[in-house]
With several copies, the nearest count.
Chain A
Amino acid sequence: MAEPCQPRVRVQAEDFDAALEIERLTAGRRDIGAVVTFTGRCRDEGGRLAALELEHYPGMAEAQIRRIAEEAARRWALSGLSVIHRFGRLAPGENIVLVVAASAHRRAALEAADFLMDYLKSCAPFWKKEHLAGGGEGDWVAAKAEDEAALERWRK
């Protein structure tokens, strides 16, 4: 197998543009058969939330996402991999996270995106505080046992 690709990682307050990130990974490439994007968005939880406030650990957030992305690039033959994670106050409908995985073959791109999302969920230093639709702060979003369990799928 060729050298693992160098993932692109950004942690930022600003929104991102999935189409632009696809273009950055694929422009001029004739060897890419599959591009998968995963976009995580803020939900209002049935009208309960006005926003999520994403706190992160600057420095570690980027380093940790990079470690996860490099692990994905070692496991799958990827042509390119981008991960962008936002922080700050995000309203329902706004983007939170983007993964773009490009590969010659569909399974590699799909599995890499799936793997990234599972690990970002439980292993990237971000925390979400709820802001309620009625005003005022809600709780910190609790980690789910099922998210921790999802990591088991990749331990083989």
Chain B
Amino acid sequence: MKLVYFAWVRERIGKESETVALPPEVGTVAELLSWLRQRGEGYAAALEQPQVIRVAIDHEHVTHETRLPADGEVALFPPMTGG
């Protein structure tokens, strides 16, 4: 699974993107966020308030209840401030 990060999520995690192999028990977006938080200080800081994290799968917004695809690009980012 390719993960991409933006704005302060990217800054706190310390990388723009990475490819991870998810354990089988990680099935939803919410579970992905919980799993990532265990991966280190930067992840914990980025995801300490998971409810504010916005998520897109393959360029489409999804909710935290959404099931992850077998493959694809999952993006994590703060609330958007376009316009």
Check whether chain A touches chain B (CB < 8 angstroms). Answer: yes
Chain A interface residues (CB < 8 Å from chain B)? 40, 55, 57, 59-60, 63-64, 85, 96-97, 106, 117, 120-129, 140-143, 148
Complex Cα–Cα for A60 and B4 (A): 12
Complex Cα–Cα for A85 and B83 (A): 7
B83 and A127 form a contact (CB under 8 A):
no
In the complex with contacts A57-B6, A140-B7, A127-B56 CB distance below 8 A: no
Nearest residue (CB) in A for B59 is A60
Complex Cα–Cα for A116 and B32 (A): 32
Interface digits, B46-83 against A, CB 8 Å rule (1 contact, 0 not)?
Answer: 00000000001001110000000000000101111111
Which one of A63, A85, A129, A148 lies within 8 Å of B82 (CB-CB)?
Answer: A85
Can you report 8 residue pairs joining A to B where beta carbons are below 8 Å apart? A57-B6, A85-B83, A122-B82, A127-B78, A127-B81, A140-B8, A142-B79, A143-B79
Q: Is the interface of A mostly helix, strand, loop or mixed?
A: mixed
Q: In this complex, which of A57, A63, A122, A124 has the most chain B Cβ atoms within 10 angstroms of its Cβ?
A: A57
Residues from chain B with a CB closer than 8 A to the CB of A121 are: 80-83
Residues from chain A with a CB closer than 8 A to the CB of B83 are: 40, 85, 96-97, 106, 117, 120-121, 124, 126
Count of chain B residues with a beta carbon within 8 Å of a chain A beta carbon: 16
Residues from chain A with a CB closer than 8 A to the CB of B59 are: 57, 59-60, 63-64
Which one of A96, A120, A122 lies within 8 Å of B79 (CB-CB)?
Answer: A122
CB distance from A57 to the nearest CB of B (A): 6
CB distance from B47 to the nearest CB of A (A): 16
A143 and B6 form a contact (CB under 8 A):
no
Complex Cα–Cα for A43 and B4 (A): 29
Extra inter-chain contacts (8) besides given A124-B82, A125-B82, A127-B77, CB under 8 Å:
A57-B6, A97-B83, A106-B83, A121-B80, A122-B79, A125-B77, A140-B81, A142-B79
